[in-house]
Amino acid sequence: MTSTHCVIPVIESPKNYQAYRISPRESNRLGIIFDSTNTNASLTCCVEIFDVSEQTPPNRHQWALEMFFLLKGEGIAICDAKKVPIKARDSLLVPPTGTHLIRNTGNTRLYTLIIMVPNEDFSELVGSGIPVELDAEDMSVLGRLDSFSFV
């Protein structure tokens, strides 16, 4: 049976991303692209921006898989005490219950695209944070994503 329903895709642009700091202690900024409020699905997709030498706090998820795709920069990923260097165009998949963090070890900002499924209240945590603006450097990196090349 063929469906007669057309699903209209949700389109977001970096100029529309709402960015937050999760808490006053955190310097990382997260720009929400998609979450359960605009997709009707239990997922979160966001961009995380790390200033030089900054990192995520160690964290873990009960059920969620979390995937990071590095857009720009370099760092180190630590999961359950295992360390691996990461750089632009690398992908990292963190399994549920893995205690993990990412640290920017480069001399420029680190930009990661994050997809978490299921959401596990991640977008709600981010959205309850402190609203911040994406600056000109952020927009220059994120604005190039439509022409991003894997070559």
pTM for the structure as a whole: 0.87
Give the Cα separation of 150 and 108 in Å (integer).
21
Q: Which CATH class is domain 16-144?
A: mainly beta
Beta carbons of 70 and 50 less than 8 angstroms apart: no
**pLDDT value for 146:** 47
**pLDDT value for 142:** 85
Amino acid at site 58? P
What parts of the chain have a pLDDT lower than 50? 146-151
Residue whose C-alpha is closest to residue 76's, from 112, 24, 30, 39: 112
Instruction: Give the bridge partners for 112, in sequence order.
Output: 48, 70
**pLDDT value for 149:** 46
**pLDDT value for 21:** 95
Q: Any idea where the domains of the chain sit in the sequence?
A: 16-144
Which residues make Cβ contacts (< 8 Å) with residue 74, sequence separation at least 6? 85, 86, 87, 88, 104, 105, 106, 110
pLDDT digits (tens, 9 = 90+) for 20-59: 999 998 899 999 998 888 788 899 999 999 999 999 999 9
Give the Cα separation of 23 and 84 in Å (integer).
27
State residue 142 phi and psi, 5-degree precision: -70, -30
